[in-house]
Amino acid sequence: RAVPPGRSRARSRAAAGAALLPSMLMFGVILASSGLLLMIERGILAQVGPPPLHPPAGPSRRDGRDSPAEVELEVLRDTRNRTIRALCGQRSMPRSVWELPPGQRRTVLRHLLVSDKYRFLYCYVPKVACSNWKRILKVLDGALESVDVQGKMDHKSDLVFLGNMKPEEISYRLKHYYKFIFVRNPMERLLSAYRNKFGEIKEYQQKYGVEIVRRYRKNGRNSAGDDVTFSEFLQYLLDEDVERMNEHWMPIYNLCQPCAVRYDFIGSYERLHADANHVLEHIQSPSFIRFPERQAWYKPVTAETLHYYLCNTQRRLIKELLPKYILDFSLFAYPLPNITSEFCRQ
């Protein structure tokens, strides 16, 4: 029997909506738009109730009203919770680490650090204060005397990785332990990785920098890899397979798989100390343990620095790169970068 044109079109639309990548892009566009709250109220997220991933922002003011900062924080947390639940609720998304392809499962299990004493799992994300969190884990385990001990961080020794455990041990901890992650604006994280690895670390200059320059620059064979431009770095990321990326610029979604691992708390780099203190209180760490202060030599990426780099980069590169990081933008409610001519002229 012939299908009415209207029904045929409806089926076509439904089939298109089931495709995963367009759905991801849609989430990214919605969450990065200035009409975010309107979309939540009237759009695809309207029927999704937020799971209790986050605690209240803190006590209200004495007059009973929340401050603008507290309201903004609650909106951000609610947005993240709703979006994660909506995206991860799709049939095609993994429900556990055992549903992931072997390579993706190895990646996330390799980034989940374990504290059996305090019963928590922490998914470390490079360039999101992970060195300081590793210091804290070592102090909690007695392998380090203080978080303030000077010296280069050993990112392997005296740490317990979930991936080194047996399947039944992994499943038990994923089910019963407190799980948290810290996230950061994707473009800011990429710029931080670029400035650190190609501006300061000779190993990265030789391993990645030399190849990047040789690949994207005419007559670049004599480069020592210490002069990689930001545009060359972004072009390299554009051509790189996400699953094969170095962990310092692999998307957070691929590192920590927030659909396969249900995190109890998502902290922000932008609220690093406040969110870190919340985690330390929740796991009931000793009172003498505090999140380390930023090292004096560290040069943070400021908003002005990020804008400078983005506005001096070809827009084509940034626009073509965004789909690779769209889940980081959308799930964690970060705005897409503003690279309009009007904004950059300022």
What residues does each domain of the chain span? 69-189+241-345
Query: Are 255 and 108 contacting, i.e. CB atoms less than 8 angstroms apart?
Result: yes
DSSP label at 43? S
How confident is residue 172, by pLDDT bands cut at 50, 70 and 90?
A: very high
- Average pLDDT of the chain, as a whole number: 83
pLDDT for the residue 63: 56
Helix then strand count (H, E) for the chain reads: 16, 4
For the chain, give the percent of residues with pLDDT over 90.
Answer: 63
pLDDT tops 60 at residue 177: yes
Report CA-CA distances (Å) from 242 to 56, 167, 232, 245, 261.
Answer: 35, 26, 17, 5, 19
* DSSP-based three-state secondary structure for 119: coil
pLDDT at residue 149 is higher than 90: no
- State the Cα–Cα distance between residues 145 and 164, nearest whole angstrom: 25
pLDDT per residue as tens digits for the range 27-46: 444 444 333 333 333 333 33
Residue 63 token pair: 């007059």
Q: Is a pLDDT exceeding 60 seen at residue 1?
A: no
Select the more confidently predicted residue: 43 or 14. 14
pLDDT band at 14 (very low <50, low <70, confident <90, very high): very low
For residue 76, what pLDDT band results from cuts at 50, 70 and 90? confident
Say if residue 219's pLDDT is above 90. Answer: no
255, 92 contact by CB (below 8 A): no
131: CB partners within 8 A, 6+ apart: 153, 155
Q: What are phi and psi of 139, to 5 degrees?
A: -70, -45
pLDDT, tens digit (0-9, with 9 covering 90-100), for 90-132: 999 999 999 999 999 999 999 999 999 999 999 999 999 999 9
CA atoms of 323 and 203, how far apart (whole Å): 29
- The pLDDT of residue 261 is 97
pTM higher than the cut 0.85? no
